[in-house]
């Protein structure tokens, strides 16, 4: 009888452990400092906006995690550049779809790059899409060409790639139609691993897993970005497991977190991110990459 009870307890504990793990992998909440009701997800430098941009949209390229001198191709799968770095040509990856369901086109890429240049997020340039007449009909353009107004020095190249990686690619038609309201509320569409589906002005944003993501499958089914006015409350929420990460620039809170062995502080472009030690939160070379946000170990 005792043996039976012991076995049953082991089984129950094992099941509970599995349920807890699965549950933990399903949803995640990230605490951020309070944000305004009219937060603009496209232009704002608030951590919430940067996080949402990173989770829900992609860029053409990204600075490589292992070396600041090289870059990873994200929405492109091939590129070439001329000798003075003034003409960059990217072939657009096939099979990438926006959350809306439509396939990404070079026209979307050109539109987004020109928009970034207009907003001074990229140096003066003109981007256009073109096709290779040898391999494709004229309506299936596959390339985007960036012509910079000024050639780049070799030393400026990394800075340019970094700016390119900050320029998010969004669907041209919807971006144009939303006009000044683009980026407000949940008026923001990308092709990233998570899709923005809901918001409460000044309180929270909810993103769900993009099951059709072209790259690594997202680990969480839902990610909520929640405003936490008091960082010390955020730390408590982190310790209780209510949230998985907290963006905090409060030195006192950060100091307390440093002493907690279950937590880790990452230096990210959005500030200090206190996260559970088991959470992979990629911040390298001053770049943040949340496409592979997940628990490890």
Partner 1 sequence: MFRVLSILISTLFIAAIGFSLTEYKENLTSDKAIAYSRKLPERVTVNQAREELTLAKRAAHAGLGSARSQIHLASVLKRNARKEVRLEDQIILYCEALSAAGSAVKLNPLKASYLLNWADLRQILSDIECKEELTKGSVKDAVEYALKLDPRNPAVTYSAAVMLMRIGERPRALALLNATLLTETALSSSKREYVLKQITSKEDLENIIPARFPQIADWSLFIKEKRPTLFQRESFTISAMQLNALKEAVKEYELGMLPFEIHKQRLLSLLPSTASSAIRQTLDAELGRVLPTGLQESKLTKEYLLKRATLSELYIVRGVIDSDTRSETTPLSRWGADQNVEIDSFAQSVGFYLPSGQNVLLIELNSKGIPASGLSEMLRLLVSDDNQHWSTPRESYKTSLVELEDQKYLSIEYSGEYHRYWKINHTGQSRSENFGAPLQSLIKVYGRTNRKAEVPQ
Positions that interact with partner 1 (CB under 8 A): 98-102, 105, 137-140, 171, 173-174, 176-179, 181, 185-187, 189, 195-201
| Both structure tokens of 7 | 């076995």
Instruction: Give me the least distance between CB of 30 and partner 1, in Å please.
Output: 19
> Please, which residue, 102 or 294, has the CB nearer to partner 1?
102
Query: If residue 267 lies in a helix (H) or strand (E), which one and from where to where?
Result: strand 263-268
Query: If residue 255 lies in a helix (H) or strand (E), which one and from where to where?
Result: helix 251-259
> Please, which residue, 27 or 186, has the CB nearer to partner 1?
186
Please give the Cα distance from 56 to 210 (Å, whole number).
Answer: 9
> What is the longest distance spanned by two Cα atoms in the chain?
83
Instruction: Give me the least distance between CB of 56 and partner 1, in Å please.
Output: 12
Instruction: Give me the least distance between CB of 185 and partner 1, in Å please.
Output: 5
Instruction: Give me the least distance between CB of 147 and partner 1, in Å please.
Output: 22
> Please, which residue, 189 or 223, has the CB nearer to partner 1?
189
Q: How far is CA 70 from CA 62, 66, 77, 162, in A?
A: 9, 8, 15, 10
> Please, which residue, 176 or 217, has the CB nearer to partner 1?
176
Instruction: Give me the least distance between CB of 180 and partner 1, in Å please.
Output: 8
Comparing CA positions, the residue from 215, 217, 219, 218 lying closest to residue 93 is 215
| Both structure tokens of 234 | 């955020």
> Please, which residue, 196 or 275, has the CB nearer to partner 1?
196
């Amino acid at each position: 009888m005792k043996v039976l009870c012991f076995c049953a307890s082991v089984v129950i504990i094992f099941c509970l452990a599995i349920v807890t793990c699965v549950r933990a992998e399903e949803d995640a909440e990230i605490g951020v400092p309070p944000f305004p009701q009219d937060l603009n997800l496209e232009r704002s430098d608030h951590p919430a906006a940067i996080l949402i941009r990173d989770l829900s949209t992609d860029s053409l390229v990204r600075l490589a995690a292992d070396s600041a001198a090289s870059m990873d191709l994200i929405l492109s799968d091939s590129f070439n550049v001329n000798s003075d770095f003034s003409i960059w040509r990217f072939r657009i990856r096939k099979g990438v779809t926006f959350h809306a369901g439509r396939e990404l086109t070079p026209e979307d890429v050109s539109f987004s790059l020109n928009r970034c240049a207009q907003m001074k997020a990229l140096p003066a340039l003109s981007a256009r899409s073109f096709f290779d007449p040898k391999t494709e009909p004229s309506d299936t353009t596959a390339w985007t060409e960036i012509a910079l107004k000024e050639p780049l020095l070799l030393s400026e190249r990394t800075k340019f790639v970094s700016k390119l990686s900050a320029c998010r690619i969004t669907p041209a038609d919807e971006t144009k139609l939303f006009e000044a309201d683009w980026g407000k509320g949940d008026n923001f569409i990308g092709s990233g691993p998570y899709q923005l589906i809901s918001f409460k002005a000044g309180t929270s944003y909810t993103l769900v897993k993009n099951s059709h993501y072209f790259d690594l499958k997202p680990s969480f089914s839902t990610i909520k970005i929640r405003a936490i006015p008091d960082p010390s409350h955020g730390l408590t929420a982190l310790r209780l497991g209510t949230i998985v990460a907290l963006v905090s620039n409060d030195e006192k809170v950060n100091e307390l977190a440093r002493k907690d062995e279950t937590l880790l502080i990452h230096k990210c472009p959005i500030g200090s991110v206190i996260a559970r030690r088991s959470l992979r939160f990629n911040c390298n070379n001053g770049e943040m990459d949340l496409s592979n946000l997940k628990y490890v170990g």
